[in-house]
Amino acid sequence: MTQNIYIICPPKKATGGPEALHQLGYILNSLGYNAKMLYSKYKKDPVHPFYKSYNVPYVMKIKDSAENVIIVPESMTNLIAKYPLAEKKVWWLSLDFYEVLMNSREEKKNWIRKIFVPYKHTEYRFEPNKTVTHWYQSQRTKEFLLTKKLDNDIAYLCDYVTELFFENLPEPGHFPKENIITYNPKKGLDKIEKYMKLLPQYTWTPLSNMTREEMRDTLRKTKLHIDFGYFPGRDKIPREALISSVCLLTGRDGTSGFKEDLGIPERYKLHADEMQTEKVTALINHLMTNYDQVFEEFSSFRTFVMTEKDRMIEDVKQLFNKN
């Protein structure tokens, strides 16, 4: 257990990816490993307040060494070239950010190249490399990685919903439910707005500008969370909603189309051509009016989500014992 493990992470960012990376650091240290966050840019006090409770020590730079294990989120695979000697584990928390961020970095490089000198090729495009191993967080990513010629076996590793959502958690059937529908205004809002006008009898609450405690307390009162947006990975808010005994109604874009990644009843996951106004309105009314019976249909996937932390601990033990 003397290996140094460094987890590359953007500083001061509060999204699902950085949280998963801090959770990994926390689990590794609780198992007796020596894990530190390696923040990708210099910032004074780089730890976001949300993640201070994970108590993962951090560094701003390291020397490349064969003794090091470096966890690289898929959004920062350009840093693989910076550490040729270290063992590198690419953790795919999303499939889409790999392409999006790689393309945006390439565009910036081309601009620099024209002015200065040919820029060193740093983007990772699955070149043969025995020091690189891949972990997938979703079935969708697993299927993508299986199309690539890789030097090492791929492995599953998924993050979990933070403990905050489990604090004083009521038993199913004992949540103080109201006629509230929540949504994430940053995702698929254009597809939801018309239902807000058509169904004014429900309280439509955006999950934004809230502390995490406010979000938890809101979800505990909510009957339905709607997300017709794109799911780049195993999205956090739908999982937080399930733990809070909230029903879900989603589209099928990204990981939400895979039952392994979002294992809710198929009838509550709509293809684009199924989103007729009458059908969606009827489904929303059905979910809200019959909440007590309908939530039973979500209980098996809720149980799966509630045990994700235990599974992550076991998976981390497996992944690091192999070394």
At 184-222, the pLDDT tens digits run 998 888 999 999 999 999 999 999 999 989 999 999 999
* DSSP label of 161: -
User: What is the C-alpha to C-alpha distance for residues 72 and 84, in angstroms, rounded to an integer?
Assistant: 13
Would you say 322 and 133 are in contact if contact means Cβ atoms under 8 Å apart? no
What's residue 322's pLDDT?
54
At 25-51, the pLDDT tens digits run 999 999 999 999 999 877 788 899 889
pLDDT at 120 over 90: no
As a whole number, the mean pLDDT across the chain is 92
User: Mean of the pLDDT values across residues 234-255?
Assistant: 95
Would you say 172 and 261 are in contact if contact means Cβ atoms under 8 Å apart? no
What's residue 321's pLDDT?
83
* DSSP label of 255: G
User: What is the C-alpha to C-alpha distance for residues 100 and 111, in angstroms, rounded to an integer?
Assistant: 17
pLDDT band with cut points at 50, 70 and 90 for residue 66? very high
